[in-house]
Amino acid sequence: MAASCLLAPPATIAPDAPSARFRPADLPHMRATALFPLSRPAALAPFGVSRRAPQPVRAAAADLPAPASPSSAPALSDRRSLLIGALAAASAASLGAGGASHAAECELQETPSGLQFCDQVQGAGDEASAGTRIQAHYAGRLLSGTVFDSSYARGRPLVFRVGVGQVIRGWDVGILGGPGIPPMKAGGKRTLRIPADLAYGSRGAGCRGGTCRIPPGADLIFEVEYLGTV
């Protein structure tokens, strides 16, 4: 799979209309050979979490016992208490599976470039080098918390060559490392707060009809999970 929403120079995000289709003429700032997975950003729930009940919860709920007679009420109450606990645990596990939960916050460190980062999980694998083809899961949001894209929601990671301009500069530096920031290792998860000049700059992205999905001058937050080389 080719590079994604993080393409540099700034790409354009599709409008809300479900029938809208991108053509090279509509994307003057985007390389014609690049894929563009932000085709339906408005359809994504935050960080890839479905608005429906997680599958394990739906399956467990289907197995709830039928109403019982009064004589069996105490035993049924105990069973329901155990089931409620199991449902809560399954729901928590499902919501945290994307690695992009707001609960998993860590203290950001600022680099000389203005890029901020914190490592939620330290990887134990190899580091990537410039030009290497890698895969990564991610979720991107505005400072307001609005999610504009998530590979977790699509169920497949982004595949691209790092360090050669296929993605925004903040991603290249955030993965390969640079002044004040170490390189990521495979298996690691990192939060990046990317200033506008390392993202989509003063033009923003997805601008049409006077509105932009990524406003001009917007800082962005990405949760990045570096899976390794491909």
114 and 173 share one domain:
yes
109 and 184 share one domain:
yes
16 assigned to some structural domain? no
Cα 205 from Cα 14, distance rounded (Å)? 9
Q: Reply yes or no on whether the pLDDT at 113 is more than 80.
A: yes
Q: Reply yes or no on whether the pLDDT at 91 is more than 80.
A: no
Quote the pLDDT of residue 95.
36
Quote the pLDDT of residue 53.
37
Question: What is the pTM for the complete model shown?
Answer: 0.60
Tell me the pLDDT tens digit for each residue of 25-49. Answer: 333 333 333 333 332 333 332 333 3
61 and 37 share one domain:
no
CA 46, 47, 48, 50 torsion: positive or negative? negative
Domain with 63 in it: 55-96
- Tell me which range, 47-51, 53-57, 203-207, is most confidently predicted by mean pLDDT: 203-207
155 assigned to some structural domain? yes
Query: Under 8 Å CB-to-CB from 154, ≥6 apart: which residues?
Result: 37, 48
Total structural domains within the chain: 2
72 and 165 share one domain:
no
- 189: tokens are 């998860």
* Portion of the chain with pLDDT greater than 70, in percent: 54
118 assigned to some structural domain? yes
Tell me the pLDDT tens digit for each residue of 118-177. Answer: 999 999 999 999 999 999 999 999 999 999 999 999 999 999 999 999 999 999 999 999
> Which DSSP category does 181 fall into?
B
- What band does 60 get if pLDDT is binned at 50, 70 and 90? very low
Quote the pLDDT of residue 106.
86
